[in-house]
């Protein structure tokens, strides 16, 4: 009996035991600390779509991030197109919005098995992230589980679901303020790693499409009723902020450097965080093939940290959208999740709505 067969036999033999264990806990798509997460604003967005767009058959979330906007409209009648360049976002998007035949009973068994794994030797994560981002014990276990997922997943849907479970569990115990630009000096997060089961409703995903492409390239190849745009607002690159989770998702084990232990991220840099943001946005709007456009763009006011200031001025957004159709602006006060250093007064979330001219 080879190692993989023996492992699967062990998982199946534990199936009866797992039924009596307290592993029924599930997590949902929004249960993650993420800059710009729109979960608290999703009903605001939904109200605008209901009022201005009426009945829709498809929605494209071109900078999906955690995917909460797409999830809000995800049902058997609406096709959801979600896109994010980061693998650490793409994999959860594939799990929550792209799975069509995922067996949650199998995931339950394998989550239980992975939670029982023990590692007492140094490995990739413990060497690079132990006693900084995580306790050494948790870092060892994260690495051991990630290796084991490659062995026990019988298909991509299972693999993505198990990696998603690990990403969410890892984020919950990270010794950070919610991002990975730095870690806390004091090791405050000492609870043990515990994987849960993703709350997936595969019956709603049958028509959905999930991509991991450059937004400005993808926009030229797809069409939809509603385009929702939530781009990066400032100079903070998401690949810098979530490098550790990206490393965990891709599992290529690159060399890391610096105190924050980051890998090479040049291929993940976004134009929307650079001075070229306006040009990139104009190109995106020009090539959009849709009936309605909604753009989320924060009024970041005057932040005490210049890196938090918006890259595109309101006037630019309005001018570009007017070339596409008639616009309205909706606004709501909003306390954003920040990196902890940026105090922003008068912060509002705006939705620029454009009814595209035929």
pLDDT 10s digits, 214-243: 999 999 999 999 999 999 888 889 999 999
Q: Say what the pLDDT of residue 308 is.
A: 53
Q: Say what the pLDDT of residue 120 is.
A: 80
Q: What percent of the chain has pLDDT over 70?
A: 86
Residue 126 lies in a domain: yes
Residue 21 lies in a domain: no
pLDDT above 50 (res 21): no
Residue-wise pLDDT for 134-164, tens only, equals: 999 999 999 999 999 999 999 999 999 999 9
Residue 165 lies in a domain: yes
Residue 226 lies in a domain: yes
Q: Say what the pLDDT of residue 22 is.
A: 41
The CATH code of the domain that includes 240 is: 3.40.50.150
Q: Say what the pLDDT of residue 119 is.
A: 84
Residue 25 lies in a domain: no
- Sheet strands (E) in 16-129: 26-27, 58-61, 79-83
Please list, in sequence order, all residues whose beta carbon lies within 8 angstroms of the beta carbon of residue 90, skipping any fewer than 6 positions away: 84, 210, 211, 212, 249
Tell me the C-alpha distance between 86 and 268, whole Å: 7
Q: Say what the pLDDT of residue 90 is.
A: 98
Residue 264 lies in a domain: yes
pLDDT above 90 (res 354): yes
Residue-wise pLDDT for 189-208, tens only, equals: 899 999 999 999 999 999 99
Token output for 209: 């499409």
Q: Please answer whether residues 219 and 288 qualify as being in contact, where contact means their C-beta atoms are separated by less than 8 angstroms.
A: yes
Residue 17 lies in a domain: no
Whole-structure pTM value: 0.89
pLDDT above 80 (res 341): no
Q: Say what the pLDDT of residue 20 is.
A: 34
Please list, in sequence order, all residues whose beta carbon lies within 8 angstroms of the beta carbon of residue 181, skipping any fewer than 6 positions away: 240, 241, 260, 339
pLDDT above 90 (res 327): yes
Q: State the residue range of the domain holding 161.
A: 3-11+32-356
Residue 74 lies in a domain: yes
Mean residue pLDDT of the chain comes to 89
Residue-wise pLDDT for 74-116, tens only, equals: 999 999 999 999 999 999 999 999 999 999 999 999 999 999 9
Residue-wise pLDDT for 54-85, tens only, equals: 999 999 999 999 999 999 999 999 999 999 99
pLDDT above 70 (res 345): no
Please list, in sequence order, all residues whose beta carbon lies within 8 angstroms of the beta carbon of residue 48, skipping any fewer than 6 positions away: 294, 330, 351, 353
Structurally, the chain folds into a number of domains equal to: 1
Q: Across the chain, how many H-helices and E-strands are there? A: 14, 9
Q: Say what the pLDDT of residue 264 is.
A: 96
């Amino acid at each position: 009996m080879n190692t993989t067969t023996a492992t699967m036999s062990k998982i199946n033999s534990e199936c009866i035991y797992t039924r009596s264990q307290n592993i029924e806990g599930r997590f949902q798509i929004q249960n993650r600390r993420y800059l710009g997460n729109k979960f608290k604003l999703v009903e605001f967005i939904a109200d605008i779509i209901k009022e201005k767009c009426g009945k829709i058959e498809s929605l494209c979330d071109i900078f999906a991030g955690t995917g909460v906007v797409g999830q809000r409209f995800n049902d058997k009648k609406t096709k959801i197109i979600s896109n994010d360049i980061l693998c650490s976002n793409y994999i959860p998007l594939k799990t929550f919005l792209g799975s069509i035949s995922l067996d949650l009973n199998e995931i339950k068994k394998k989550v239980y098995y992975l939670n029982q794994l023990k590692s007492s030797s140094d490995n990739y994560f413990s060497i690079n992230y132990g006693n900084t981002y995580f306790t050494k014990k948790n870092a060892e276990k994260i690495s051991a589980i990630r290796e084991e997922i490659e062995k026990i997943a019988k298909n991509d849907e299972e693999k993505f679901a198990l990696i998603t479970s690990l990403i969410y569990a890892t984020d919950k115990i990270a010794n950070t303020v919610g991002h990975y630009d730095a870690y806390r000096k004091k090791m405050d997060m000492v609870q043990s790693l515990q994987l849960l089961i993703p709350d997936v409703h595969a019956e709603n995903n049958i028509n959905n499409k999930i991509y991991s492409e450059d937004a400005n390239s993808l926009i030229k190849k797809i069409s939809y009723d509603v385009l929702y745009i939530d781009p990066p607002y400032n100079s903070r690159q998401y690949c810098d902020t979530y490098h550790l989770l990206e490393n965990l998702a891709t599992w290529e084990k690159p060399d890391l450097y610096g105190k924050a232990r980051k890998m090479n991220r040049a291929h993940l840099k976004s134009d929307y965080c650079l001075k070229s943001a306006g040009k990139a946005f104009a190109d995106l709007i020009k090539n959009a093939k849709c009936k309605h456009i909604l753009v989320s763009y924060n009024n970041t006011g005057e932040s005490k940290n210049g890196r938090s200031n918006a890259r595109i001025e309101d006037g630019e957004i309005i001018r570009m959208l007017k070339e596409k159709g008639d616009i309205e602006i909706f606004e709501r006060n909003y306390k954003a999740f920040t990196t902890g250093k940026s105090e922003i007064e008068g912060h509002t979330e705006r939705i620029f709505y454009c009814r595209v001219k035929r």
